[in-house]
Structure 1
Amino acid sequence: MSCAAAEMPFAAPLRAVDHVGPLERGTGLRLRAAKRVRVEDPYMVGHFPGLTMLPAVFLLEGLRQTVARAFDLDVPPEVLRIHSVRLLAPMLDGDDIDFAVDLRPQPEGNSWELHARCTRSDGTPVAALRLVVGVPGAERHVSAAAAPPEPTAGVPVIDHVRIRELLPVRHPMLLVDRVDELDPGRRIVTTKAVTGSEPCFQALPEGLTAAHYAYPRSLAFESFGQSAALLWVAGSGTDVPDGVLMLAAIRGCRFVGDVQPGESMRHVVRLEHLSAGTCFMSGSIWAGARCIAEVDSLIAVNRPRTEVQGAASVAAC
């Protein structure tokens, strides 16, 4: 089966699951899905150059696509809430990832709470996720901790050239255009312009609704995560040349809106605590004056590149 994102009936960075099994109906709903990590998949070439690693956010995309295929939904489902995500091991080129998913229907209808366990083919656990995926209903207001970020004006605090020096990701996975504000060790505000030429929109059929062109929330969260990495690295004055900054956990994320092509996405990230190679952050995602998501806690870690590459060697044995 081809893995081209063009096969998806809605905007998606890639086909994030290769196979979805049938729904098992017993004491609850269960299903299994599978994905092979491939360097040739869309977006993968830029994450990270020289060390192909499946972005953790693509597990969220995989669960979204699993729900769409399992229930044959006409309207694109979305990640509505992330209760918790724990990343346990890297997922590298050639790894086969198995998704074991328990689904619990939610009272609002057309949404399900998912408890997912992801493992490599050698039995190594790679992630545990608990989130709600479903068809968006009437948007609820997110009470953000602050007012919308000020409109961008003038020269950026950190420009695109410097961002490329600080972040070990490249096109099309580099998802921060500029840094507009930076209070080192405290707060950062960044911008990502969403254009109709993004790879995730390519080859979609004509006649789709705006919902089908919503910027994938997996990519929106990846952009937020890259902004968090910039706060950590630029704020500390350390480029971490030999390290790999990796998402370790998410706790409490609520999405209530989307970004459409032609809009600019803004991230406000706050550093809550930094200790021994682990960083705790929170923040919000904006489209203009609309707060479209709020993140209670993002936890990132810095791992030596040799340690991550060692995981690849072990997986290949």
Structure 2
Amino acid sequence: MSAATVTAVGQPPFAAPLRAVDTAELREVDGGLRLRATKLVTVDDPYMAGHFPGLTMLPAVFLLEGVRQAVAHVFDLSEPPELLEVRSARLLAPMLGGDLITLDAGLEPQPEGNRWVVDARCTSQDGTAVAKLKVLVGTVAETDFLIAPTPPPEPVDGEPLFDHAGIRELLPVRHPMLLVDRVVEVEPGRRISAVKAVAGSEPCYQELPDGLPGARYDYPRSLAFESFGQSAAMLWLASTSLGGPDGVLMLAAIRGCRFAGGVRPGESMRHVVRLEQMVSGNAFLSGEVWAGQRCIAVVDTLIAVNRPRSVVQAAP
């Protein structure tokens, strides 16, 4: 086993919702690479105050952002890595304010170079397993593309079915974590189409210095996925009587999420989400994220659960 130095991670030199890891180290163990990173959950981080106001809980997508930032830090890449695939992710326990989350992962280098499959286990300070992740992270290639299972959505004119006021009535998140601007189509129990406009005034851009290449302003894929997830929650809430003041809709698992391309300030994303089935209070959803005619993400399966707020707050 080779020695490694734990180092503090600074503010990323690319658009990011927050500094998603506090420390990171890379170590060689039995001929393989292992990554270890930590993150203290605090309401003081950007976006956190709007994620279930009154309940400080780390969004699951920020674990994915943490993997990206940890890889960028330990390899000191000239081009920042991106989240390319979420092959699987299981969220096992809520990550509440004051929790110290440790990510321990094996890294498998890919033949393309500057790409790694990260197989991670995340635990809280008492050893409780909070998540298991298997993701592909690395630099973007010009040949990256997606074949969407459906055609691009048709443009929709007229008034939205849900405007900002209507969205606030359904979703329990608030600024700046409220990442759905309008709902343009909805078939309860089947399908929703929602829009998120990307603005340069969002917190993910506020720490960036001038003079960076345009790619550094790509909207964080972790936030794009969170926006997709909020659209999925809108569909679920429009389809059932679940939720309510004591209900917390939580991401439980992801399978087969792939990214290619992105959006920058001044552009919009359009989420198309389908409710595949409901089983014992769990929702199984799929869909795509579009930027105009470009498909920038495909989600094979997203599993969401509803938990009483009192149960979430009492989690060990």
Q: Tell me the TM-score normalised to structure 1 length.
A: 0.95
SS in 2 for 1:250: strand
Task: Identify the residue that residue 201 of structure 2 maps to in structure 1.
Answer: 197
Task: Identify the residue that residue 159 of structure 2 maps to in structure 1.
Answer: 155
Matched, 1:29 2:26: no
SS in 2 for 1:66: helix
AA of the residue aligned to 2:60: A
Q: How does 1:137-286 map to 2 (within 5 A)?
A: 137-236=141-240, 238-286=242-290
Report the Cα offset of residue 129 of structure 1: 0.2
SS in 2 for 1:32: strand
Matched, 1:109 2:113: yes
1:50-77: per-residue Cα shift (whole Å, max 9, x none)? Answer: 1010000000000000000010012111
C-alpha distance in 1 between matches for 2:98 and 2:70: 21
C-alpha distance in 2 between matches for 1:163 and 1:139: 37
Identity of aligned residues (%): 65
Task: Identify the residue that residue 296 of structure 1 maps to in structure 2.
Answer: 300
Task: Identify the residue that residue 39 of structure 1 maps to in structure 2.
Answer: 43
Q: 1:39 to 1:116 in 2, by over 3 A?
A: same
Task: Identify the residue that residue 53 of structure 1 maps to in structure 2.
Answer: 57
Q: 1:237 to 1:155 in 2, by over 3 A?
A: farther
Report the Cα offset of residue 138 of structure 1: 1.7
User: Which structure 1 residue ranges, 5 or more long, are not aligned?
Assistant: none
Q: Is the CA contact (8 Å cut-off) linking 1:23 and 1:70 kept in structure 2?
A: no
C-alpha distance in 1 between matches for 2:243 and 2:97: 25
Report the Cα offset of residue 3 of structure 1: 8.6
Number of corresponding residues: 310
Task: Identify the residue that residue 87 of structure 2 maps to in structure 1.
Answer: 83
AA of the residue aligned to 2:290: W
Task: Identify the residue that residue 8 of structure 1 maps to in structure 2.
Answer: 12
Q: Is the CA contact (8 Å cut-off) linking 1:215 and 1:258 kept in structure 2?
A: yes
1:230-258: per-residue Cα shift (whole Å, max 9, x none)? Answer: 00001225553321000000000110111
Q: Is the CA contact (8 Å cut-off) linking 2:8 and 2:24 kept in structure 1?
A: no
Report the Cα offset of residue 25 of structure 1: 4.8
1:8-41: per-residue Cα shift (whole Å, max 9, x none)? Answer: 2000000000000233253210121100000000
AA of the residue aligned to 2:216: H
C-alpha distance in 1 between matches for 2:271 and 2:157: 16
Report the Cα offset of residue 183 of structure 1: 0.7
Q: 1:3 to 1:303 in 2, by over 3 A?
A: farther
User: Which structure 2 residue ranges, 5 or more long, are not aligned?
Assistant: 1-6
Q: Tell me the TM-score normalised to structure 2 length.
A: 0.95
SS in 2 for 1:23: strand
CA RMSD of aligned residues (A): 1.5
AA of the residue aligned to 1:114: V
Q: 1:122 to 1:15 in 2, by over 3 A?
A: same
Task: Identify the residue that residue 95 of structure 1 maps to in structure 2.
Answer: 99
SS in 2 for 1:303: strand
Q: Is the CA contact (8 Å cut-off) linking 2:9 and 2:73 kept in structure 1?
A: no
Q: Is the CA contact (8 Å cut-off) linking 2:268 and 2:291 kept in structure 1?
A: yes
C-alpha distance in 2 between matches for 1:215 and 1:140: 17
Q: Is the CA contact (8 Å cut-off) linking 2:243 and 2:306 kept in structure 1?
A: no
Report the Cα offset of residue 139 of structure 1: 3.7
Task: Find runs of 4+ consecutive structure 1 residues off by over 6 angstroms.
Answer: 1-4
